[in-house]
Amino acid sequence: MAHASIVSCPLHIYGITVDFSKSKTNVESVEVQISKLPHSPIEREAGKSWRQTFSPPMELYHEDTFSLHMQYKTWFGMMTEHENIVFNLNDMFSAYSAKYNKFHKNIRIVVDLSGNTTTEQAEQSVSSGEELRPTTSEIFRKCPRFRILVIGKTGVGKSSLINHAFGVEKTITSHDRPGQASIDHEFISPQNDRFVLHDSKGFEPGEQNNLKIVREFIDHRRNMSAPEHQLHAVWLCFEIPRAGGRLLETGTEEFLTLKRSGTLGNIPVIVILTKYDMLIDRMERTLDENSLNGLSDEAIMELAKNKAEAELQDICIGPLEKFSGPDIPRAMVSTHKDHKETLTRLIQITGNCVGLHSTPEAAVMTFIAQRVHPGLKIQASIEVGKRKYWKALASSTTFKTHKTWDCLHVLHTDIVNVWNFYDPHRYLHSQEFRELMVKMLDNLEVGPTTNLISNITTGLSMVGTIVSVLAEPAAPIVVPIAASVVLAAWVHDVYQRSHAVLQRFMSYIVHLTLVLQTLYLVSESQELTRRSIKLAVTSYLESPMSGEVHTRIQEYEGQLTILERADSDTLDKIVEVVQFYSINPAEMSKLREKIPSVGSSPDEPWEIAKS
Mean pLDDT, range 464-492, rounded to an integer: 77
Specify which residues 107 forms β-bridges with: 104
More confident residue, 522 or 105: 522
User: Percentage of residues in the chain with pLDDT exceeding 70?
Assistant: 83
CA proximity to 240, closest of 269, 265, 274: 274
Q: Starting from the edge strand earliest in sequence, which strands make up the sheet with 187-189, in order?
A: 187-189, 192-200, 146-151, 233-239, 269-274, 330-332
Tell me the CATH number at 348: 3.40.50.300
Strands 330-332 and 269-274: parallel
406 vs 403, 430, 488, CA distance in Å? Answer: 5, 14, 14
Mean pLDDT, range 570-593, rounded to an integer: 81
Q: Does residue 308 fall inside a structural domain? A: no
- Regarding whether 148 and 118 lie in a shared domain, the answer is no
- Regarding whether 181 and 113 lie in a shared domain, the answer is no
Residue-level pLDDT at 559: 63
User: Percentage of residues in the chain with pLDDT exceeding 90?
Assistant: 23
More confident residue, 123 or 223: 223
Confidence bin at 549 (pLDDT 50/70/90): confident
Taking the C-alpha atoms of residue 611 and residue 608, their distance in angstroms, rounded to an integer, is 10
- Regarding whether 493 and 435 lie in a shared domain, the answer is yes
Tell me the CATH number at 59: 2.60.40
- Regarding whether 549 and 504 lie in a shared domain, the answer is yes
Residue-level pLDDT at 287: 82
Q: Does residue 609 fall inside a structural domain? A: no
Q: Does residue 376 fall inside a structural domain? A: no
pTM of the predicted model, to two decimals?
A: 0.75
Number of structural domains in the chain: 3
Q: Rg for the chain (alpha carbons), in Å?
A: 27
Residue-level pLDDT at 247: 65
Q: State which residues form the domain around 523.
A: 389-592
Taking the C-alpha atoms of residue 210 and residue 216, their distance in angstroms, rounded to an integer, is 10
Specify which residues 283 forms β-bridges with: none
Q: Which of 62-76, 81-95, 392-406, 448-462 has the lowest mean pLDDT?
A: 448-462
Residue-level pLDDT at 349: 93
Q: Cβ distance 32 to 40 under 8 Å? A: yes
CA of residue 545 relative to chain centroid, distance: 24
CA of residue 33 relative to chain centroid, distance: 19
For 396-444, how does the pLDDT look when each residue is reduced to its tens digit (9 = 90+)?
A: 778 888 888 999 999 999 999 999 999 988 999 998 899 999 988 887 7
- pLDDT higher than threshold 90 for residue 315: no
Taking the C-alpha atoms of residue 156 and residue 240, their distance in angstroms, rounded to an integer, is 9
Confidence bin at 564 (pLDDT 50/70/90): low
Residue-level pLDDT at 143: 92
- pLDDT higher than threshold 80 for residue 204: no
- The C-alpha angle 415, 421, 423, rounded to 5 degrees, equals 110
CA proximity to 433, closest of 372, 543, 508: 508
Q: Does residue 133 fall inside a structural domain? A: no
CA proximity to 100, closest of 121, 118, 116: 116
CA proximity to 543, closest of 461, 450, 420, 607: 461
Residue where one domain finishes, among candidates 100, 127, 154: 127
- Regarding whether 110 and 57 lie in a shared domain, the answer is yes
Instruction: Give the amino acid at 2.
Output: A
Q: Does residue 315 fall inside a structural domain? A: no
Q: Which of 356-360, 441-445, 570-574 has the lowest mean pLDDT?
A: 441-445
Residue-level pLDDT at 165: 94
Mean pLDDT, range 456-481, rounded to an integer: 74
- Regarding whether 230 and 90 lie in a shared domain, the answer is no
Q: Does residue 311 fall inside a structural domain? A: no
For 14-40, how does the pLDDT look when each residue is reduced to its tens digit (9 = 90+)?
A: 888 888 877 777 778 888 888 877 778
Per DSSP, helices labelled H in 286-340 are 297-312, 318-324
Q: Which of 76-80, 252-256, 288-292 has the lowest mean pLDDT?
A: 76-80
Specify which residues 150 forms β-bridges with: 199, 235
For 141-167, how does the pLDDT look when each residue is reduced to its tens digit (9 = 90+)?
A: 889 999 999 999 888 899 999 999 999
For 243-268, how does the pLDDT look when each residue is reduced to its tens digit (9 = 90+)?
A: 666 667 777 888 888 888 888 888 99
Taking the C-alpha atoms of residue 170 and residue 572, their distance in angstroms, rounded to an integer, is 40
- Regarding whether 538 and 419 lie in a shared domain, the answer is yes
- Regarding whether 102 and 204 lie in a shared domain, the answer is no
Taking the C-alpha atoms of residue 144 and residue 362, their distance in angstroms, rounded to an integer, is 9
* Cβ-defined contacts of 181-186 (< 8 Å, 24+): 183/149, 183/213, 183/214, 183/217, 184/217
Strands 146-151 and 107-113: unpaired
- Regarding whether 92 and 36 lie in a shared domain, the answer is yes
Phi, psi angles (nearest 5°) of residue 536: -65, -45
Q: Does residue 412 fall inside a structural domain? A: yes
Among 2-11, 130-139, 204-213, 284-293, top mean pLDDT goes to 130-139
Q: Cβ distance 189 to 166 under 8 Å? A: yes
Confidence bin at 205 (pLDDT 50/70/90): low
Mean pLDDT, range 93-117, rounded to an integer: 69
More confident residue, 355 or 104: 355
- Regarding whether 399 and 363 lie in a shared domain, the answer is no
- Regarding whether 361 and 261 lie in a shared domain, the answer is yes
Confidence bin at 122 (pLDDT 50/70/90): very low
- pLDDT higher than threshold 50 for residue 7: no
Q: Does residue 301 fall inside a structural domain? A: no
More confident residue, 123 or 201: 201
The overall average pLDDT reported for the chain is 80
Residue-level pLDDT at 175: 46
More confident residue, 178 or 561: 561
Residue where one domain finishes, among candidates 369, 401, 424: 369
- Regarding whether 115 and 81 lie in a shared domain, the answer is yes
- The HSE-up count of residue 334 (CA atoms within 13 Å, CB side) is 15
Residue-level pLDDT at 459: 66
Per DSSP, helices labelled H in 241-275 are 250-261
Q: Which of 118-122, 228-232, 339-343 has the lowest mean pLDDT?
A: 118-122
- pLDDT higher than threshold 90 for residue 558: no
Taking the C-alpha atoms of residue 404 and residue 397, their distance in angstroms, rounded to an integer, is 13
Taking the C-alpha atoms of residue 371 and residue 192, their distance in angstroms, rounded to an integer, is 9
- Residue 187 CB neighbour total at 10 angstroms: 17
